Amino acid sequence: MAGEKQQREFIEKISPFLREKIEEIKIKKGENSEDYQALYLQYAISGKEKEQSTEKNVRHWEADVDIESHIHGIERLYSKSVVIEPTMVCAAHCRYCLRANYDIFTLKEDELINIAKFCGSDNTKRQVNEVLITGGDPLIVPKRLNYLVEVLIEYAPNIKIIRIATRLPHHDPSRIDNNVFEIFKKHKDKVDFELATQINHPAELFPETIEIFDKFRKMGVPIYSQNILLKGINDNIKTLVCLYNKIREIGIEPHYLFHCVPMRGMHHFRTTVEKGLRLARELTNSGKISGRIKPMYALMTDIGKITLYEGTILEKNKERNEIFVQSAYKYEDRLKNNTNWKLPKTAEIDENGYLRTWYLDGED
Percent of the chain with pLDDT over 70: 97
Asked if pLDDT for residue 68 goes beyond 90, the answer is no
Please determine, for residue 1, whether its predicted confidence score (pLDDT) is greater than 60.
no
H-type alpha helices, 48-160? 109-119, 122-125, 142-155
- CA atoms of 39 and 162, how far apart (whole Å): 30
> Residue 54: which of 322, 298, 313, 301 has the closest Cα?
322
**pLDDT single digits (tens) 135-161:** 999 999 999 999 999 999 999 999 999
9, part of any domain: no
Residue type, 142: P
At residue 117, does pLDDT exceed 50?
A: yes
Report, as an integer, the average pLDDT of 34-47. Answer: 98
Model confidence band, residue 128 (pLDDT cutoffs 50, 70, 90): very high
Q: What is the mean pLDDT of residues 354-362?
A: 98
Q: At residue 71, does pLDDT exceed 90? A: no
Q: Cβ distance 261 to 251 under 8 Å?
A: no
Q: Could you read off the pLDDT of 214-271 as tens digits, one per residue?
A: 999 999 999 999 999 999 999 999 999 999 999 999 999 999 999 999 999 999 999 9
pLDDT score recorded for residue 103: 87
Residue 344 in any domain: the answer is yes
Q: Please state, for a pLDDT cut of 90, what percent of the chain lies above it.
A: 91
Give start and end residues of each alpha helix (H) in the chain: 16-29, 34-43, 109-119, 122-125, 142-155, 168-171, 178-187, 207-218, 237-249, 273-285, 331-337
Instruction: Kindly state the helix (H) or strand (E) to which residue 328 belongs, with its residue range.
Output: strand 322-330
- Checking if the pLDDT of 2 tops 60, the result is no
Q: Report the alpha-carbon distance of residue 356 to residue 155 in Å, rounded.
A: 36
Q: Is residue 4 part of a domain?
A: no
Query: Is the pLDDT reported for residue 207 higher than 50?
Result: yes
At 46 the pLDDT is: 97
Q: Residue 5 falls within a domain, yes or no? A: no
Q: Is the pLDDT of residue 347 over 50?
A: yes
pLDDT value of residue 72: 79
Into how many domains does the chain fold? 1
Backbone angles phi, psi at 210, to 5 degrees: -60, -40
| DSSP for residue 189 | T
Crossing angle of the two packed helices 109-119 and 142-155, in degrees rounded to 10: 40
* 92 three-state secondary structure: coil
- How many degrees, rounded to 5, is the angle at CA 126 between CA 121 and CA 132? 75
Q: What number is the average pLDDT over the span 10-29?
A: 98
Could you read off the pLDDT of 318-334 as tens digits, one per residue? Answer: 999 999 999 999 999 99
Residue 340 is predicted with a pLDDT of 87
Using a CB cutoff of 8 Å and minimum separation of 24, what contacts does 64-67 make? 64/340, 65/118, 65/338, 65/340, 66/340, 67/114, 67/115, 67/118
Return the CATH number at 347: 3.20.20.70
Q: What pLDDT, in 10s, does the model give residues 305-316?
A: 999 999 999 999
Instruction: Give residue 108's domain range.
Output: 16-360
**What's the rounded Cα separation, in Å, for the pair 139 and 145?**
7
Q: Has residue 2 been placed in a domain?
A: no
Measured distance CA(207)–CA(252) in Å, rounded: 15
Q: Give the C-alpha separation, 185 to 96, whole Å.
A: 33
How confident is the model at residue 201, as a pLDDT?
98
Predicted confidence (pLDDT) at residue 134 exceeds the cutoff of 50: yes
- Predicted local confidence at residue 3, as pLDDT: 46
Per residue in 188-202, pLDDT (tens digit) is: 999 999 999 999 999
